[in-house]
Structure 1
Amino acid sequence: MRWEGTCYRAHDPKWAWSPISGAGAAAKGGRFNPIGTPALYLALTVEGMLVEMGHGFGHRFDPLTICSYNVDVDDIVDLRTDSGRAREAIDLASMACPWAYDLATGKLPASWEIAKSLIAKGAAGILSPSFATGARSDMANLILWRWGSDLPHKVEVHDPSGRLPKDQLSWS
């Protein structure tokens, strides 16, 4: 399916110069990207982004750079609903697995198997419920494995004033 709209992300400031790289996610892995697989995790709402960035700590978080994105992407699999998950034979429990704990204990996270399977089928990304602590049932994320500056997988950071740094040296 095609998804078009505005998304939001809170970055570690050290990545502010490259807000659509996906390199940080590739280095550490994430719920829906095995280590080595670039991914761009975007919240569909500002409120959802705040929940995601807080990691369950509503009143304490590290310094962050907040960006909004103009997104127009195709080849998206919508896993926000029971019917969407059923079409792909994916269960919510596998999506919601304790992926970081699994990884730390030497177990392959079930959510990584989901990602690998969908990537192999040609999916550019998924729409997923938010699994962040404190997320409401209406909060969702767009997780991309393929994106760039052109259609059909277009993602642009909204920076009309050129406020974002151009490289790491901008911080010194």
Structure 2
Amino acid sequence: MKQHWAGVVYRAHHPRWAFAPDSGEGAARFGGRFNPLGTPALYTALRLQGAWTEAQQGFPFKAQPMTLMAYQVDCADMVDLTDAAILAALGVTGADLACAWEDVADRGQEPPSWALARRLIGEGCAGILAPSFAAGAQPGDVNAIFWRWSPVPPHQVQVVDDAGRLPRDDASWR
């Protein structure tokens, strides 16, 4: 079920965090569809427009400034949740993936997508490919979500910044 995936992915995030584009700490602090509170994750999209759509879903009427990043990926131990056969083998449905995870968590219950993430992380998975559920996502939009990543293989998710344009630390915002 685990497979190797390589390619380029994209992420849009608040410009304030441009010095740490691969931290995953924001996701750990607030949780996400595929990461329970306290679990770091790096959410990316396979298309530039998908990254923008994911980042802007909280601002449907006024697009907010974002830093758009590209990452070179060469990652083992991925699971493709866009594959119906893999979902069936896992005993997972599309509804489990698309669950209203925030509402479920607010009611004190574990969202099915969190239970799946815990299970896959426990089985040594580094990340998943999953459909986008963001408002405005196009059919076929896919996200790559990483739970384990580093700048080098076997779980490479490397920021593309050949010209050294990103700030090195938080001091640039003072």
- Aligning the two structures, in what range does the TM-score lie when normalised by the shorter sequence? over 0.9
Provide the aligned C-alpha RMSD in A. Answer: 1.3
What does residue 80 of structure 2 align with?
A: 78
Q: SS at the partner of 2:6? A: strand
Q: Which amino acid aligns with 2:96?
A: S
Match for residue 143 of structure 2 among 136, 141, 144: 141
What does residue 40 of structure 2 align with?
A: 38
Match for residue 115 of structure 2 among 113, 116, 133: 113
TM-score relative to the length of structure 2:
0.94
Match for residue 131 of structure 1 among 107, 121, 133: 133
Give how far 1:57 is off.
Answer: 4.8
TM-score relative to the length of structure 1:
0.95
Unaligned runs of 5+ in 1: none
Unaligned runs of 5+ in 2: none
Q: C-alpha distance in 1, partners of 2:58/2:26? A: 21
Matches within 5 A, 1:3-42: 3-42=5-44
Give how far 1:58 is off.
Answer: 5.0
Give how far 1:59 is off.
Answer: 4.9
Q: Which amino acid aligns with 2:153?
A: L
Q: C-alpha distance in 2, partners of 1:88/1:150? A: 29
Q: SS at the partner of 1:25? A: helix
Give how far 1:84 is off.
Answer: 2.1
| Equivalent pair of 2:152/2:158 in contact (CA under 8 Å) | no
Give how far 1:96 is off.
Answer: 0.6
| Equivalent pair of 1:51/1:58 in contact (CA under 8 Å) | no
CA deviation vs aligned residue, 1:23-52 (integer Å, no higher than 9, x gap): 111111100001110000010001211221
Matches within 5 A, 1:155-170: 155-170=157-172
Q: C-alpha distance in 1, partners of 2:156/2:114? A: 24
Q: Which amino acid aligns with 2:108?
A: G
Q: C-alpha distance in 1, partners of 2:10/2:149? A: 15
Q: How many residues align?
A: 172
Give how far 1:105 is off.
Answer: 2.3
Stretches (4+) displaced over 2 A: 56-59
